[in-house]
Amino acid sequence: MRTPTAASPLPTVLLTGFDPFGGDSLNPSWQAVQALHGKRIAGHRVVAAQLPTVFDASRRELARLLRAHRPALVICVGQAGGRAAMSLERIAINVNDARIPDNAAAQPVDTPVVADGPAAYFTSLPVKAMLQALQRAGIAAEVSQTAGTFVCNHVFYGLMHELATRRGFRRTRGGFVHVPWLPGQGQPHMATEELVRGLRVAVAAALTTTTDIRSGAGAIS
Ligand code: PCA
């Protein structure tokens, strides 16, 4: 259990979303996590923060947020246009391979996220329990086997690497959720309210599940 402080009497859940990228004017991940900022879920307080859709700068900002908030649970959220369901990502790989430039015009091809880092990390979220909770709540959800090779996978890998290698994060659970477009961005889509409800359910399930039917967390070399 984290020690409560005067400023934050409850342990923290950190939710991140991204700024718009690739010509879009909004990003559903930010719309959804922003709506949960300050809310209480299963005895925890949500802190929502935005990451830039930029290689490296996104990881630096996430590392800063981890040190500042010392969260018990971290879920990074990103947009995955073309997907029809909330995707609970199982695995982050040590590859940057951008099909389009990021928001700082960088387009790395086949570079590692972390030089000499392990090939991949499994999520430490209880994804099967979260999936079940989402389906019971009537929200379209799936476990996904790839977060791609753009900034979302980069942040997911960076998150798992920080949690695995930095002191003080041994008990912090973390992972990544991709969300579909919003109405107006393209098909298929999910409404913001549905995404917010889904994230609430997913966070609550993660906080109240101590074991999971999963393939195991940690580094894969
Ligand atoms: N989606 C992108 C990066 C930012 C976002 O919201 C991705 O899937 O990599």
Q: What is the pLDDT at residue 210?
A: 79
* Two structure tokens written together for 128: 């099967």
Q: What is the pLDDT at residue 122?
A: 98
Q: Which of 101, 77, 62, 80 is nearest to 29 (CA)?
A: 77
- How is the chain split into domains, by residue range? 12-208
Q: What is the pLDDT at residue 7?
A: 58
Q: What is the pLDDT at residue 220?
A: 74
Residue nearest to atom 7 of ligand 1 (CA): 152
Active site residue 76: no
DSSP string, the chain: -PPP-SS--S-EEEEEEE---TT-S--HHHHHHHTTTT-EETTEEEEEEEE-SSTTHHHHHHHHHHHHH--SEEEEEEE-TT--SEEEE-EEES-EE-SS--TTS---EEE-SSTT--SEEE--S-HHHHHHHHHHTT--EEEES---SSHHHHHHHHHHHHHHHSTT-TT-EEEEEEE-BPTTT-SSB--HHHHHHHHHHHHHHHHH-SS-SSS--EEE-
Q: What is the pLDDT at residue 92?
A: 98
Q: What is the rounded distance in angstroms from the CA atom of residue 16 to the CA atom of residue 32? A: 10
CATH of domain 12-208: 3.40.630.20
Ligand 1 center from residue 9 Cα (angstroms): 33
Q: How many CB atoms within 10 Å of residue 31? A: 17
In the beta sheet, which residues pair with residue 91? Answer: 122
pTM: 0.94
Ligand 1 center from residue 148 Cα (angstroms): 9
Q: Which candidate in 44, 61, 89, 154 is catalytic?
A: 89
**Residue the block writes with tokens 């590692």:** 112
Determine whether the shortest distance from the Cβ of 78 to ligand 1 is under 6 A: yes
**What are the average pLDDT values for consecutive 10-residue runs of the chain, which has 221 residues?**
62 98 97 98 98 98 98 98 98 98 98 98 98 98 98 98 96 98 97 98 96 61 66
